[in-house]
Amino acid sequence: MTMGYNIECDAGSLYYRTCYVVDSSGNRNEIIGYQGNNPITKSATNASGSAWEPQLFVLNQDGTQYQPYAGGGMPLNHLTFTPATGADPQDLYYLQEVMPGSQSRKKQRTYVGGWWMPIFGLRKEPAPKSLSETESEIHEDTRTSTQATPLDAVSGMSIIKTGIVVSGILGAIAYGVRKL
């Protein structure tokens, strides 16, 4: 078995040539990027609707390459990598826009649901402050809003005094009418 990643490159300039990882079965897998020092490749797949799947190659403790996600492709939520300079831009477009599941991954990264939505795995906006107040805060607000201010007390006293005066006048008028 070959040590290292077993990378072969086409002829061409250093930064624009296409390179391949030759796997243990002898297949050449085109490198589209690197996750750290580990190459990510376009690998053949039998999955319906997919043209190819990304595959990660790493080295074990002996320096021999292996594929941690062999046979199933790598989990796409871990698909963060630096594109290779020789990678075809259409391959990157395929990963982000066309590949099955790409739109749901994009929604998961960008969508913010309403606070009332019963969703799992997506970000949600915070609930309004009126719903997040504790019961003691609500009771404090009602106590402070029902307490009279000095101005309210004065105007309340004026109304009471006016009521007393009016009832006194009416009482006097009624008393005087009875006497007549």
| 3-state DSSP of the chain | CCEECCEEECCCCCCCCCEEEECCCCCEEEEEEEECCEEEEEECCCCCCCCCEEEECEECCCCEEECCCCCCCCCHHHCCCEECCCCCHHHHHHHHHHCCCHHHHHHHHHCEECCCCCCCCCEECCCCHHHHCCHHHHHHHHHHHHCCCHHHHHHHHHHHHHHHHHHHHHHHHHHHHHHC
Mean pLDDT in order along the chain per 10 residues (180 residues):
82 85 89 90 84 89 86 72 86 86 80 81 79 59 50 53 69 65
In this prediction, residue 107 carries a pLDDT of 80
- Separation of alpha carbons 81 and 38, rounded Å: 9
- Strands 28-35 and 38-43, sheet pairing: antiparallel
Q: How far apart are the first and last CA of the chain?
A: 130
Sign of CA dihedral 48, 54, 60, 62: positive
CB 54 within 8 A of CB 73: yes
In this prediction, residue 154 carries a pLDDT of 47
Q: What single letter denotes the amino acid at residue 36?
A: G
In this prediction, residue 135 carries a pLDDT of 54
In this prediction, residue 28 carries a pLDDT of 92
In this prediction, residue 20 carries a pLDDT of 92
- Separation of alpha carbons 61 and 80, rounded Å: 24
In this prediction, residue 153 carries a pLDDT of 46
In this prediction, residue 118 carries a pLDDT of 82
pTM score of the predicted model: 0.59
In this prediction, residue 21 carries a pLDDT of 92
In this prediction, residue 39 carries a pLDDT of 92
The residue behind tokens 């994009």 is 106
- Separation of alpha carbons 41 and 54, rounded Å: 5
